[in-house]
Amino acid sequence: MQSDVPDAQRLPIDPELPLLAPPQPIPGLVWAFRIDADGRPQALPVDRPIETAQDGLLWLHFNLTDARALQWLGSAAPALPEEARALLLSKDTYQQLHASDDGAYGVIADLLREIGGATEDTGYLRFVMSEHLLISGRHRALCAADATRRALENGCRIDSVAELFETIVENVAATMERVIDRLAEALDDIEEEVLSEEEADLRKGLGQVRRTCVRLHRQLSGLQQLFHRLEEKDTSGLKPALQIAAGKLAQRLDGLDRTIIEMRDRSRLLQEELQLKIEEQGNNSLRVLSVLTALLMPPTLVTGIFGMNSRGLPFADSDAGFWWAAALICMASLAAYLILRRIGIIR
């Protein structure tokens, strides 16, 4: 079919002019928020294009197990320092925090989240932040990031990217505090059972509590070191929006860490007390067995003597020989009992 438009009226096509593709949604986004100048957050649909150059604060949270997200972060993401981009795409499992004049980036630990709530396993949140942008990512669902999302959905006001990051760290501490409260209740129940006379195997539960305390202490001590180092560092050159309240966060984490250390020491003492109780029960069982063995040795000797096939055995020609032998066995057991009681083995 021929076109009705004359050749003279057709617009020439420049082969060097690139065709503009329509904007596409950012791949791998879990959620996105835009916070205006008044601190009011607005959730953005992740299935639509997001303009990263608009005014206000933007938080993009990614699922780092999505290959498309890794490709976008590695190439199409807003201008990021190469070190920050490399850390965001890495799989480092140690906590770190780097601050520069125009931003900060690092890795912090958090507790993994399941449908039933927080678990005792550790995950890692990777982040890069500039004056108007926070990009974060995780490989598995985390409690603190999700709690911050819910707080923003409920209208929590955020004034700067540093305050948004502080909110995430505060939620890390709040999640750990709830786990600590649960561990404290478990320790109270175990202590009650240890001090009672009931027979129960508490070693598994006590070992699990102690293992969780060690994990939380390791996680908290790493966070403490990050913010203590940041507090000692001269950050006066940072922009106001990037000024993290490191001293306040470090103090909050210090209090939690002291509580964890006390619970760890308490669980260790309970474990030692439980071990002593188990050893005492074992010693009592061996003592009873030893007493029974001592009481049965003389009757066994008498029975062995009367069982010999030799002439001249006493009571062999008597009609009441069995009863005399039985009386002798009872007397031997009674003599053994009196001797054991005399020397204090039987009380």
Pinpoint the residues of the chain covered by CATH 3.30.460.20.
Answer: 29-277
- Dist. CA 60–CA 44, nearest whole Å: 10
Please list the pLDDT of the chain residue by residue as tens digits (347 residues): 444 444 444 444 444 544 455 678 899 999 999 999 888 999 999 988 888 766 789 999 999 999 999 999 988 777 788 888 899 898 888 899 988 877 899 999 999 988 877 888 889 999 999 888 999 999 999 999 999 999 999 989 999 999 999 999 999 999 999 999 998 998 888 888 877 766 567 778 888 888 889 889 999 998 999 999 988 887 777 788 888 888 999 999 999 999 999 989 988 888 888 888 777 778 777 888 887 787 788 888 878 877 777 777 777 777 777 888 788 888 888 888 888 788 777 77
Q: How far is CA 224 from the centre of its chain?
A: 16
pTM of the model: 0.76
For the packed helices 161-195 and 246-306, what is the interaxial angle rounded to 10 degrees?
Answer: 20
Q: In what order do the strands lie in the sheet containing 29-35?
A: 41-44, 29-35, 57-63, 133-138, 117-129, 103-114, 96-100
- Dist. CA 175–CA 284, nearest whole Å: 45
Q: How far is CA 242 from the centre of its chain?
A: 29
Residue 51: strand, helix, or coil: coil
Top CATH class of 288-343 equals mainly alpha
Distances (CA, A) of 193 to 185, 262, 283: 13, 20, 20
Q: What secondary structure does DSSP assign to 123-141, as a single string?
A: EEEEEEE-SSEEEEEESS-
CATH number of 29-277: 3.30.460.20
